[in-house]
Amino acid sequence: MTVGTLFNIGNAKSKGFEQHDEGTIPFVTNGFRNNGIVGFVDPLPMERVIKEQAICISTFCEATVHEPPFLPRGNGGSGLIILVPKTGMTREEMYYYAAQVNKQSWRFSFGRMVINERIACLELQPFKGVSTTLSIEKLVPEMKQRKNVSISKMAKKSITDICNIERKYAPYMNEIDELDSGTPYVTTTEVDNGVSIHCNEKPNFKSNSVTVSLDGICGTTFFQFQDYIAGEKTAVVTLKEKYNPYLLLYIAALIRMMSWRYHYGRKLSIGRLEELSLKLPVEEDGNIDFDAIEKIVKNSYGWEIVDAHLSKTYN
C-alpha cells in the first residue's frame, strides 16, 4: 500500500509565524524540535487550521503527528504537506505510519524535495497491531495544574541594563581530548544543554550563567549549572546585579522566544544581542517585580527537573 491509499494529501495554507499575534493554536513548522511546534498563535483569516488528527511532512521528509487544532506552516515554497487519514486511525497507527515515512527520508534532498505526487507513491507496510506494551501516553509527562500568576504591569528594559554579555575564544574541539567526564564544552548544538563533549581543559566561564548560540539555530539558550568552556560562536549572559536564577531563566526564555528573528543569512551577534529589549513584569515604581518572575518560572513546565539541578548551586 502507499501513502496515497491511506491518506488524503493536502497542503498547508498560512503566513509565517512572526506575522501572527500570540494565541492558543499550535503553529507547526518543519523539523523535529518540539515536534515542530514553534509557538502558539491567533490564526489569520483564510488560513487553514487543521481540525483533525494529521501527519505533517516537511520538504525534507520530516514527519510529525499532531492533535487538532493546529496551524501548519504554509508560506514560501516549502510549506508542509498534510496527511489526513481517509478512514479512522488510532494514535498508534498514526505514529506507526509517520515512523515509516521518516525511515524513508533518505529518498529526498534539496534537489529532490517532498511534493504531493512523490509522497503519495511512498510504499508503507500495513499496521498489524501494537507488538509492545509501551504506552504512548506514558511517554508524555503529566502536565501539572498551573497556577494563576498576577502581573499588574509589564515594561520593556534593555538587556544591557540588566545583563553582562561576553564572548571568549577557546581551543577548537578537534584540538582537545574528549573524556567521559570533566569540563563541559558548550557549542551551538541544540541538545544536551548545549554540551558537545567533556574534556580536561580549564573552564573559561563560571556556572549559573546562560549560553546563547550565535550560529546554527541562533538564539538557542541554555542555563549552565557547571563551570564550562565556550568558544567564539557562543555568547554568555550573566546578571549585573545580585545573582537571581529565576530572573536569568526568565531572560533565557525571552531570548529563545525571539530567536525566530535570526537565521543563516542574518545571524545573531553580540551587537544584535545587545540591542534586545526584554518585556518584564515590573512594580508600580517601574522596578523589576522579582516575586512575579519567580512565581512564573516555578509555574513553568519542567520546573521540577530544573529545580533538582538548581538546588545544588543556589539556596
CATH class, domain 154-310, is alpha beta
- Give the pLDDT score at 260: 84
Per-residue pLDDT tens for 122-154?
Answer: 999 999 876 556 666 676 666 667 777 778 799
pLDDT (mean) for 242-267: 92
Q: Is the pLDDT of residue 313 over 80?
A: no
Query: Could you state, in order of their start, the residue ranges of all structural domains in the chain?
Result: 3-139, 154-310
pLDDT (mean) for 265-286: 93
149: helix, strand or coil: coil
- Give the pLDDT score at 134: 61
pTM as predicted: 0.64
Domain pair 3-139 / 154-310, same fold: yes
Per-residue pLDDT tens for 214-236?
Answer: 998 899 999 999 999 999 999 99
- Which phi and psi angles does 80 have, rounded to 5°? -75, 150
- Which phi and psi angles does 39 have, rounded to 5°? 170, -175
Assigned fold of 3-139: Adenine-n6-DNA-methyltransferase TaqI; Chain A, domain 2 (3.90.220)
Per-residue pLDDT tens for 73-85?
Answer: 998 767 999 999 9
157: helix, strand or coil: strand
